[in-house]
């Protein structure tokens, strides 16, 4: 999976298309990510020992990686490429401008 926690992404499909936010959690086995304040569902919770306050809370649900694109600072939403830098380490690069992500 090419996306990591903390990346800025733009949603390109679904009810939240066009919104930009950061990745809060990554599920590599399921090929899904969780993005802050995107794909929010209402969750009805009972009051328990840990959360004394019950009621309806908003919960961010995972969405598929194919529905988001990483955002480059220079050129906007783009795909991710790879190259090896001078130290021999593999780095992620923007496909449009060639800059590091």
CA distance 91 to 32: 22
Burial class (CB in 10 A: 0-12, 13-18, 19+), 70: buried
pLDDT at residue 101 tops 80: yes
Helix (H) or strand (E) holding 19: none
Give 40-95 pLDDT, tens digit per residue: 999 998 888 876 788 998 999 999 999 999 999 999 999 999 999 999 999 999 99
Question: From the centroid of its chain, how far is CA 86?
Answer: 29
pTM, two decimals, is: 0.83
Instruction: Specify the pLDDT at position 51.
Output: 66
CATH 2.60.120.260 for domain 8-46+59-94, yes or no, is: no
Instruction: Specify the pLDDT at position 90.
Output: 95
């Amino acid at each position: 999976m090419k996306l990591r926690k903390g990346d800025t992404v733009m949603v390109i499909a679904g009810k939240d298309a066009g919104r930009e936010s950061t990745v809060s959690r990554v599920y590599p086995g399921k090929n899904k990510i969780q993005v802050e304040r995107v794909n929010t569902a209402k969750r009805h919770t009972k009051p328990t020992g840990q959360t004394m306050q019950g009621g309806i809370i908003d919960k961010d649900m995972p969405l598929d990686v194919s529905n988001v694109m990483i955002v480059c600072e220079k050129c906007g939403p783009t795909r991710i490429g790879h190259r090896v830098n001078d130290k021999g380490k593999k780095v992620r690069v923007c496909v449009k401008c060639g800059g590091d992500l």
